[in-house]
Each structure stands twice: as structure tokens, then as C-alpha cells.
Structure 1
Amino acid sequence: MSPAQNPLEFRITSGDLIAELISRAPRTGANEGGFPGLMIYRFEEPAAPVWEEVSELHLCVIAQGRKRITMDGTDHFYDPFTYLAVPNDVPFQTVILEASPETPFLSFGLQIDPGLVREVSADILEERRVAAFAEPASQENPAFFSALDRDMMDAILRFLRSLKSPTDRRVLAPTYLKEIVYRALQAGQYSRLVERAASESARNPVSAVIAYAKEHLAEPLTVGELAGQAHMSPSAFSHLFRDVTGKSPYQFVKELRLNRARELLVENRSTITQISRAVGYGSASHFINEFRDRYGASPRAFGAAQAGLLKQAQ
């Protein structure tokens, strides 16, 4: 089939990703990516070896240049055709091998919530159940590398572009991030990534509490109850939670509720009252006001707009 017959297959190139990262990395070194856990890197000359360690599971993608990572005494090389996941608390050495002012080294690191890995993996567990148990993760290679195929590049580029608009960043970026995790899980390293996320969650009480909150959104979920799940006092838990997420437990849970409400409205299977109850609001009017404050439209208007978009797509 020619490109004219199937234009979607040829819509994304590595040049698109390079251009996007250049626009977001105006200075050499590390640049804030405009999204929690996202850093964009630009270097214009090879760099000396540096020892690093991340505190959370990270996905690292290189768009231009070449880099060597040494982990547990083993050298790994990655370039624009590969990406890797780096687990937390594992020291590694990095060396930038190829970079120049004309062709700068460009990459980004994206922190991945272990809870999101578990959520996405649950959706594909039946398909991969045999592989997940028959192919345990190798302890000799704590990082994993996969090919940066067109589907993953497409998801990454849509995620980065959605960060330009506050509304897109709030509404679309989480969806594209979920797709990125899905693509990584489908890349032949399912068991390794799931195991790393599970191990990290076991050591992080905040991640476990977030997973609990997602499963009990219809319930009141007081700070005291969440603190109890972490076996901490409400005061200590609130301080830890804010340190990890940048938000108070109340703010975080409210966002979880409204995000889930948005998903239910897109599915268009329930009334506004049913949705408000499903996400833990005792008052439908309170739910409507908070939804409007977050998304700029009432739940009814948002649902109608989504239904119109779906009808156009069909």
C-alpha cells in the first residue's frame, strides 16, 4: 500500500520528535518539561561519565545523538532507535557519546507512576498471563531496552504536544501517558516492567494509598482513613503525601474523582447523578460545580460535546 493510500502510517517521523524537543529545550543541560516528572535534556558536545540514580521508575527516550549506560557492570548503548526503562534506586553511569552544536544530543526522562503500570497491565493481563509468569524478569539486567517504533513515537509526540495548552495538559496528557505505558508494556518486556512497578509500589506507601483510593472512589476517603492504609498518623501522612505528589491528599483525591467522572462521561453510559455518586459526591450540585471549575464546562455540556465528536468520527 502506498503512502497516499494509508497516510496515517507515515504521519510521524523522528524529525518531528527532534523539532519538538528542540523547542522545549532552549538551553544546554536539563530543562523542565512542563509536566510532573518530565525533564528534557540537550547537550551540544560529548560529556564525561556521570553516576546517576533515580528515585522512581523512569522511561528514557533519546531523539538525537548516542549514549552509553553502564549498569551492574554491563554497558548498554541507546540511540534514536531505542528507549529504556530505568528502575528506582539502581545506580548507573551515563556517557553522552555523540553531540554537537549542529546536531545536539536530545532526550527526555519521564517518571512513571507504578500505579499506572498496574492499571494498564490489568487491562491486558489475560492476553499476557502466560508470558508474565513464564518469563520472569532477569536480575542480571535491571533496565530494559525496546525499539522506538512508530506507534510509541506517535504516542510520545502527542503527549509532548498536549503540554502546550493548559486544558490539553489537564485533559489529554494523562490519556497519552497511559498510552505510552501501554506501548511499553506491549514491547516485549511486560513481566520486567510490571515486576519493577510492583516492587517500587511495595516500598512506597503513597503509591499503595493512591491505588486504594482509585478502587474506593465512591467512598468518603478521609485523610484519616488514607493515613490508616499507610499505617501512619494523619499529620505525618499528609506531609509525606505532599512531598511525593506535590498536592494534599484532599486535592489529589478530588482530581482522581473528577478524572474518573470525565472518563464515565466519555463512555456516556450513566446519568449525571449516577456519575456523581460513583465518584464519591453526595451532592450532584457540588459535583457539577467542581467539574465546571476543573474542565470549564458542566458535566452535561462536556458529555454532549464528547457525544458530538464521537458521532462525527463515525
Structure 2
Amino acid sequence: MSAPSESPSRRSETTWPRTAGTRRRTLDDLTFTRAPSDESDFQNQHFVQTIDGAGAEGRSTRLPWPGVQLHHHGRPDDVIIGSETSPVVCFAVRGHLHLTSPIRAFVPGPDWGIAVPAGAECAGMALGGSRFRRHLALSIEIPIDYARRAAKDVRDGCSFTQVIAPDSDAEQHAATFSYGKELRCALARFVHALDSEEDRRVLAPLYFEEITHLVYRLPVGRRAMINSINVRKEDDPIHRAVRYMRSNLTDSIGVTDLAREVSLSQSAFSHLFRSSTGTTPYQYLKNVRLDTAKTMLVNEPSMAVADVAQAVGYHNPSHFISEFKRKYRVTPREFARISR
């Protein structure tokens, strides 16, 4: 004899089977969640929960650390990112950002962010939030002192001289970037450390320093910090010396000329330059000349090597070719050919 069928009321109380990696319908908030299927999913979920738990109700919350702000929006809303004095990095945690002024940029969602150099300000819209799942973005202002320390500590194959050198061709506006697990975990540790006074005093500074270094390793983050440092160094003697080098590449420039330009003695200037850039004025000038020559060969590959040498201050083409090959492992003509 077959078993009696379930009554309609009994059937409605039956729970849905749930396994790892499958979607579960939550009737209380009408959202879909996904059970973590591996360590990476768990870390992502923990990161979002940590950031989400830091904010109160409203459009934005200033966390108990200078320049750190959590944006949380339950609907499309205006957002402004930037600072007059420091670079700002904004990390999308849930939802996305559409910036419209002064540039148009799109931060597509989690694991993406935008870096804004000092003196710039970006306005746009925070999108992707609802009353059940708020848009989340974490905005961090990086003090110039932290940026300088990161620039000195993090090399990543990038000469520290780039920190001091003002690059007229570098982008001075905001730019987007993607970030991974290492930075995501550092952000979660930092925000969690802000919960207690003791952790905020002892651990938070360490985690903030870690975040600064990880951001500096990103090309976009490095550029935002370098540009911000340079904005604050207009009257710095090293900054002025580098500008003089770039403006007078065709001339024969010596240490005496540079020291005179910044009103320092030759010995004081040489010591200050080396301690600031990690190299001598002569070596720095040579790198500027060769880097400029490389750019000229890329932009004008048909230009005669002798003309390129003359334009960057080498009056002996053979010496220029020798120095170029020593640095880039190819001759100027070979470099121009492979760059086409």
C-alpha cells in the first residue's frame, strides 16, 4: 500500500536542500547568497562582512582613523573622492562607481578601485546598492609622510629617483586599478583593528603602513603618490635641480651648475641629492638623458641617431650609442626598429 501523500500545508514547510556552492533563497530579504566553496570565497565574504559591519546607517561614515571614510548607499547616490593635501585611494567593496567629473571613469565592482592624486577631486555616482544590499566603498587618504616612506622602501624594480623626478608626461588625474587578495586582507585587518582602542593604537598603524606599501606597488597607486609628493616639493632644492636638468638637456650640465641653481655649495648639494635620490647628480642626469632618448626613438623611429644624441646632450654619437647599449642592451637603432 502506497504511503499517503503530503498535505499542501505540510509540503509548504519543507526546507530546500542546500549544498556548498549552490544558491539558497532567503525569503526574509529576497536576496540570493552563495555558500563559500573554497578559501578564496570565504576570504571575500569575510572582507565584505568586515567592511559592511564598520558602517552605520546613512550615506557615509568617517571611521576612527584620519582620512578614512566608508561610503554605503542603498540607492544611486552622489559621491566625491579626493583631497587637497594627500592622495586618496577608494576601494569598491560591493557595487560600482561611475565618475563623471573632471574625468570619466568606471570602477566596475569588487576588487577594483580608483587612485586620486593630491589636489584633485572626482565626483560621480555610487551604483549597485539596494535597501537589502548596500553599495560599499572604502576611501583612504594617504598622508604624504606615509607615501614618502613607501617610496623609499618599495623598489619593485623601479628606481627611487622616480619619486623625486617630476614627470610632465605622467597622468595627473585619477585612474582605476584592480587589487587582489593581499590588499583585500590588509584592508579587512585594518578596519577590524579600528574596533577597539588598544588595537587602534597598536595594530592599526602597522596595517595602514602595509596598505600604503601595497598600494604603492600598483602602477596607478605609485603614480598618484609620486605626483602628490611632487606637488608638495615645488620649493625643494632637489625638485628644482631635476627640473633644471630636464629643461637644459642639450647643455653641458655639471654639479657646479646644479648647485648654483639651487643656491647650495657643491658638497652640500651632492650630499643632499644622493641622500634624497639614492644616486649621484651625474648618474641621475645620465638616466634622464637616456630615458628621454628612448622616448624620442619610440615617437620618431626614423630620426637620425646623431640628432637624438645631440638633442639629449651627447655631442659624441659614439659615446651616446655606447651608453644607450649599456643601459638597454640594444643599440639606439635596434631599439627604434623593434619599437615600431
* TM-score (normalised: structure 2): 0.51
State how far apart, in whole Å, the 1-side matches of 2:137 and 2:215 are: 17
Q: Is the 8 A contact 1:14 1:63 kept in 2?
A: no
Measure how far apart 1:128 and its partner are. 1.4
Q: Which amino acid aligns with 2:94?
A: Q
Counterpart residue number, 2:83? 54
Query: Which residues of structure 2 form unaligned runs of 5+?
Result: 1-37, 237-340
Measure how far apart 1:83 and its partner are. 1.4
1:11-38 Cα deviation digits (max 9, x unpaired): 8622222211221112121112111111
Q: 1:187 aligns with which of 183, 199, 218?
A: 218
Bigger CA drift: 164-173 or 141-150?
141-150
Measure how far apart 1:152 and its partner are. 0.4
Q: Which runs of 4+ in 1 moved over 2 A?
A: 8-14, 49-56, 70-78, 124-127, 130-141, 188-191, 199-205
Q: 1:146 aligns with which of 159, 177, 191?
A: 177
Counterpart residue number, 1:161? 192
Is the counterpart of residue 115 in structure 1 residue 142 in structure 2? Answer: no
Measure how far apart 1:131 and its partner are. 9.6
Distance change >3 Å, CA 181–CA 142, structure 1 → 2: same
Distance change >3 Å, CA 162–CA 193, structure 1 → 2: same
Counterpart residue number, 2:46? 16
Secondary structure of the residue aligned to 1:76 is strand
For 1:6-155, list aligned pairs within 5 A. 10=40, 13-47=43-77, 49=78, 53-55=82-84, 56-125=86-155, 127-129=157-159, 132=162, 136=167, 139-140=170-171, 142-155=173-186
Distance change >3 Å, CA 176–CA 204, structure 1 → 2: farther
CA RMSD of aligned residues (A): 3.2
Q: Which amino acid aligns with 1:202?
A: K
Query: Which residues of structure 1 form unaligned runs of 5+?
Result: 1-7, 206-314
Q: Which amino acid aligns with 2:201?
A: R
State how far apart, in whole Å, the 2-side matches of 1:41 and 1:16 are: 18
Distance change >3 Å, CA 148–CA 204, structure 1 → 2: farther
Figure out how many residues of one structure are paired with residues of the other and give that number: 197
Secondary structure of the residue aligned to 2:61 is strand
Greater C-alpha radius of gyration:
2
For 1:290-301, list aligned pairs within 5 A. none
Measure how far apart 1:54 and its partner are. 2.4
Distance change >3 Å, CA 136–CA 78, structure 1 → 2: farther
Distance change >3 Å, CA 30–CA 191, structure 1 → 2: closer
